[in-house]
Amino acid sequence: MTRRRAILFVADGHRDDFLRPELCPNLSGFAATGRRFHNHTGNFPSATRASAASIATGCWPGSHGLHGNTMGLPTDEGTVVHDVGDPAFVSSLRATFGRTLKVPTLAERLAPHGGVLIASNVSPGAAYFQDPDGYGHVVHRAGSFGPDRRPLGEEEAPVVTHDAAGDMALSAWFCDRMTRDAAPTLGVLWLCDPDLSMHADALGSARHLAGIAAADACFGKLRAAVDAMRASGDEVLLIACSDHGQETVIGHVAIGDELVAAGLKDSPTSCEVAVAPQGGSGLIYLAGEGQARRDAIAAFLVAHPHVGEVFIGRAMHTVGQAEGDGLAIAFSMAHDAHQNENGVPGRIWVCTSDSKPGKPVGQGSHGGLGRWERHPFLIAQGGGFVPGTHEFGRTRLIDIAPTILRHLGLPRDGMDGLALPRN
Ligand SMILES: [Zn+2]
């Protein structure tokens, strides 16, 4: 019997303009057999963890409730900023609000329809927020879980290294698992490269290009597995994409410390005004006495030479965020189109804090609204997508989940995104 299934492949951080035949022959060849989306745009912030939740839910961060790579949680004293990548953050979020995400994930929606396997080699937070409540299987080096968050032993789930070799080992295990009998309906394979390599050196460097090649080799393996699934009668939708791009770091600004110096925040550790850095952007939470400083803080940011766009209160909706639970201001850092020493365009300033020092000047980072950090690639094949075609209309991360549900013939209610156009 024909079974409809879907595979989502994510090469973290892979810029659309680096999807070239000489760098990644497997992905480029795949684009020629599917529909390529040339104007795919990342979230705000263009950072992995909240983006992973958007891909998993089809909703903006303002709807699913995970604001960024770091986010503030309300306490009696004000707002405390947490690292969402920390494996313990799922529990912190649940303890604060009595829930994790505000909307269901694909793992929850597909639990009665064959289930989901998520194999991720990025941060624990980015893995766990695709299925924070334990409906499917999540495989990650920091700990793997089955339904009801049952811990999986090493005989059930691999523990791989956080590098290209780990990506390949995870890919091999994933391909084997997805081609067995009784494999889940949806499989998500999320690699750490090329993002890891882009953060570690200049964009366009040998290290960056090696990261692209490593991810491409994993995709080659996956395509062979999908061919096997199709040969056994499955109707497979295969989506290959990234979650954001990267740009070159120009310099660092500790916005929280500068607010203290400007008299707009009581101290570096005070909770009435809290800054959650997101690389090329930041989020500001206000509580108690801090709430009266909103307009003064916004004016400070607007006048800052290294801050880009500023979104206050309801205006945050224009970038997919929502005010509430203390979140009052969102801002991007300044960005430009200058090239680095390797001729790669796009540079950003980075927002930092003591615990988030940012990537070094000259290396890659992301998180803001720069043209390239917000331009990941996207290709869809199978599921009725017309082979060899191109879409130039804007698409978003939130459009992926409804596309998967359309292919599986399941309802896609309650999502902010729309299923991708097939022709
Ligand atoms: Zn990422």
pLDDT digits (tens, 9 = 90+) for 245-258: 999 999 999 999 99
| Contact criterion met (CB below 8 Å) for 175 and 139 | no
Instruction: Based on the fold, state whether residues 237 and 302 are members of the same structural domain.
Output: no
pLDDT at position 154, please? 87
pLDDT at position 22, please? 97
If you measure from the C-alpha of residue 288 to the centroid of ligand 1, how many angstroms do you get, rounded to a whole number?
34
pLDDT at 266 exceeding the cut of 80: yes
- Whether residue 280 lies inside any domain: the answer is yes
Q: The tokens 């313990």 sit on which residue? A: 88
Domain containing 337: what range? 250-364
If you measure from the C-alpha of residue 369 to the centroid of ligand 1, how many angstroms do you get, rounded to a whole number?
14
Share above pLDDT 90 across residues of the chain, in percent, rounded to a whole number: 97
If you measure from the C-alpha of residue 341 to the centroid of ligand 1, how many angstroms do you get, rounded to a whole number?
23
If you measure from the C-alpha of residue 77 to the centroid of ligand 1, how many angstroms do you get, rounded to a whole number?
32
If you measure from the C-alpha of residue 166 to the centroid of ligand 1, how many angstroms do you get, rounded to a whole number?
16
If you measure from the C-alpha of residue 194 to the centroid of ligand 1, how many angstroms do you get, rounded to a whole number?
9
Mean pLDDT, residues 357-377 taken together: 97
pLDDT at position 172, please? 98
- Whether residue 83 lies inside any domain: the answer is no
If you measure from the C-alpha of residue 243 to the centroid of ligand 1, how many angstroms do you get, rounded to a whole number?
5
Mean pLDDT, residues 126-134 taken together: 97
Closest CA to 365 of 210, 195, 121, 190: 195
- Whether residue 170 lies inside any domain: the answer is yes
| Contact criterion met (CB below 8 Å) for 374 and 27 | no
| Contact criterion met (CB below 8 Å) for 17 and 198 | no
| Contact criterion met (CB below 8 Å) for 195 and 206 | no
- Whether residue 413 lies inside any domain: the answer is no
| Contact criterion met (CB below 8 Å) for 377 and 14 | yes
If you measure from the C-alpha of residue 244 to the centroid of ligand 1, how many angstroms do you get, rounded to a whole number?
6
Instruction: Based on the fold, state whether residues 203 and 122 are members of the same structural domain.
Output: yes
d(CA 253, CA 356): 11
Instruction: Based on the fold, state whether residues 256 and 198 are members of the same structural domain.
Output: no
Instruction: Based on the fold, state whether residues 184 and 292 are members of the same structural domain.
Output: no
Mean pLDDT, residues 358-372 taken together: 97
pLDDT at position 155, please? 87
Mean pLDDT, residues 31-49 taken together: 97
Q: How many CB atoms lie within 10 A of CB 317?
A: 13
If you measure from the C-alpha of residue 272 to the centroid of ligand 1, how many angstroms do you get, rounded to a whole number?
30
Which residues surround the ion ligand 1 when the cut-off is CB under 5 Å? 12, 48, 195, 243
If you measure from the C-alpha of residue 195 to the centroid of ligand 1, how many angstroms do you get, rounded to a whole number?
6
Instruction: Based on the fold, state whether residues 193 and 300 are members of the same structural domain.
Output: no
If you measure from the C-alpha of residue 122 to the centroid of ligand 1, how many angstroms do you get, rounded to a whole number?
8
If you measure from the C-alpha of residue 116 to the centroid of ligand 1, how many angstroms do you get, rounded to a whole number?
21
Indicate the number of domains in the chain.
Answer: 2
pLDDT at 181 exceeding the cut of 80: yes
What is the domain-level CATH number for residue 267?
3.30.1360
- Whether residue 116 lies inside any domain: the answer is yes
Instruction: Based on the fold, state whether residues 289 and 341 are members of the same structural domain.
Output: yes
pLDDT at 279 exceeding the cut of 90: yes
pLDDT at 114 exceeding the cut of 90: yes
If you measure from the C-alpha of residue 293 to the centroid of ligand 1, how many angstroms do you get, rounded to a whole number?
33
pLDDT per residue as tens digits for the range 334-353:
999 999 999 999 999 999 99
Cα–Cα–Cα angle for 230, 226, 57, rounded to 5 degrees:
110
If you measure from the C-alpha of residue 229 to the centroid of ligand 1, how many angstroms do you get, rounded to a whole number?
28
- Whether residue 29 lies inside any domain: the answer is yes
What is the domain-level CATH number for residue 228?
3.40.720.10
Instruction: Based on the fold, state whether residues 236 and 384 are members of the same structural domain.
Output: yes
CA distances from 365 to 192, 260, 329 (A): 14, 26, 22
If you measure from the C-alpha of residue 191 to the centroid of ligand 1, how many angstroms do you get, rounded to a whole number?
9
Closest CA to 287 of 303, 271, 304: 271
pLDDT at position 1, please? 67
Instruction: Based on the fold, state whether residues 110 and 53 are members of the same structural domain.
Output: yes
Instruction: Based on the fold, state whether residues 240 and 271 are members of the same structural domain.
Output: no
If you measure from the C-alpha of residue 70 to the centroid of ligand 1, how many angstroms do you get, rounded to a whole number?
14
If you measure from the C-alpha of residue 35 to the centroid of ligand 1, how many angstroms do you get, rounded to a whole number?
22
What is the average pLDDT value for the chain, to the nearest integer?
97
The model's confidence at residue 144, banded by pLDDT at 50, 70 and 90, is very high
User: What is the secondary structure of 203-221 as a DSSP string?
Assistant: TTSHHHHHHHHHHHHHHHH
Instruction: Based on the fold, state whether residues 213 and 301 are members of the same structural domain.
Output: no
Mean pLDDT, residues 303-329 taken together: 97
- Whether residue 292 lies inside any domain: the answer is yes
Instruction: Based on the fold, state whether residues 278 and 146 are members of the same structural domain.
Output: no
If you measure from the C-alpha of residue 39 to the centroid of ligand 1, how many angstroms do you get, rounded to a whole number?
18
Instruction: Based on the fold, state whether residues 350 and 401 are members of the same structural domain.
Output: no
- Whether residue 76 lies inside any domain: the answer is no
d(CA 309, CA 92): 30
If you measure from the C-alpha of residue 343 to the centroid of ligand 1, how many angstroms do you get, rounded to a whole number?
22
